[in-house]
Amino acid sequence: MNNLIFAIIITSLLMFGCSGGTPATTGVATTNHDTGLTPKREIPDDFIPRDLHITSIGDSLTKGVGDEKKLGGYTSLLEEKLLGEKDVKSVTLENFGVKGHKTSDLLNRLKNEKVQEGIADADIIIITIGGNDIMKIVKENLFDLSLNVFQKEQEKYEDRLHKVLENIRNVNNDAEIVLVGLYNPFGWFIDLSTEINTIVDDWNEGSKNILSEFGHTKFVEVDDVFSQSSDNLLAEDEFHPNSKGYELMSERIFEAIMFE
């Protein structure tokens, strides 16, 4: 009897296989159909390494003044950090920083053909500006400093900053613009420290408001880096960052570029 049942099963299987027939369906869809193909997967963002073009413009912080190691300030440190990312293939970095530049000087600088070419080619544009605007007010009103003086000048500063951003957008409408905020270098000067803190906060807030009028922009806070650190982050001139200060600045800029 067992042999007979076995023969019937084998015969049935052979007949089904040779008939070319298909199994009856129940009308219920199934998701377990195995095609033998590998399921399609999303391509990760870092699948194709990027070639980044960064253009830095602005004042002595872009130039790297104060860096006792003579490595170029935050720019070379930022380049090193970016090249350590698996989705970054190469970094082209153009530095157009000029010591002593204020927003008025930067506006003129943007008329330079080479600077315009650098901006046009850039994926990311980093700006440091404003410290010398504040320093100019301090020097001109050293014996008669008041918040009112800085508030009046802040309006002019914001107007010039707005024009700077407009000019950049006229040349490159897609690049990410990263504006590095101001910090208070007068922590050692007790008579100035508190008032300058207020002024720096106000000017930084004003800069953020100007940035918000343009797309693809980021503001990088650095004031707390200098005010809350127990380390000495200033160069011998007590105004520019030293190598450690630039290192911390580069970390903040790197985070702004790589993360939302």
Tell me the mean pLDDT in the region 49-59.
93
* CA of residue 43 relative to chain centroid, distance: 24
What average pLDDT does the segment 27-44 reach?
45
118 — phi, psi (to 5°)? Answer: -65, -40
pLDDT tens by residue, 87-120: 999 999 999 999 999 999 999 999 999 999 999 9
Residue 208 CB-density burial (10 A; 0-12 exposed, 13-18 middle, 19+ buried): middle
Burial (Cβ within 10 Å: 0-12, 13-18, ≥19) of residue 232: exposed
Is residue 107 within 8 A of residue 168, CB to CB? The reply is no
Q: Is the pLDDT of residue 164 over 70?
A: yes
Residue 26 has pLDDT above 60, yes or no: no
Which DSSP helix (H) or strand (E) runs through 126? strand 124-128
Confidence band of 138 (pLDDT split at 50, 70, 90): confident
Q: CA distances (Å), 196 to each of 104, 131, 190, in order?
A: 21, 11, 10
Q: Is pLDDT of 27 > 60?
A: no
pLDDT one-digit tens code per residue, 216-256: 999 999 999 998 888 999 999 989 999 999 999 999 999 99
Mean pLDDT of 46-71: 90
Which two three-digit tokens encode residue 28?
Answer: 């219920």
Please state the φ and ψ torsions of residue 91, each to the nearest 5 degrees.
-130, 120
What separation in angstroms does the CA of 82 have from each of 32, 72, 92, 122? Answer: 44, 16, 11, 15
CB 78 within 8 A of CB 117: no
Mean pLDDT for 24-46 is: 45
pLDDT at 8: 41
Q: Which of 23-27, 123-127, 167-171 has the lowest mean pLDDT?
A: 23-27
Domains of the chain and CATH, by start = 50-258 (3.40.50.1110)
Residue 5, pLDDT score:
42
- What single-letter DSSP state applies at residue 73? T
pLDDT number for residue 49: 67
60 vs 33 pLDDT, higher one: 60
What pLDDT, on the 0 to 100 scale, is given for residue 169?
Answer: 98
CB-CB contact of 64 with 72 (8 Å): yes
Distance CA 119, CA 241 (A): 26
Q: Is the pLDDT of residue 16 over 50?
A: no
If pLDDT is split at 50, 70 and 90, which confidence band does 146 have?
A: confident
Could you tell me what percentage of the chain is helix, strand and coil, using 3-state DSSP and rounding each to the nearest 5? Answer: 50, 15, 40
Per-residue confidence (pLDDT) for residue 189, from 0 to 100: 58
pLDDT at 139: 86
Residue 97 tokens read as 């920083």
For the cut 60, the answer to whether the pLDDT of residue 137 exceeds it is yes
Lowest mean pLDDT among 25-34, 99-108, 136-145, 147-156: 25-34
Residue 49 near residue 89 (C-beta atoms within 8 A): yes
- Considering the chain, what percentage of its residues have pLDDT values greater than 90? 66
Q: What's the whole-model pTM score?
A: 0.80
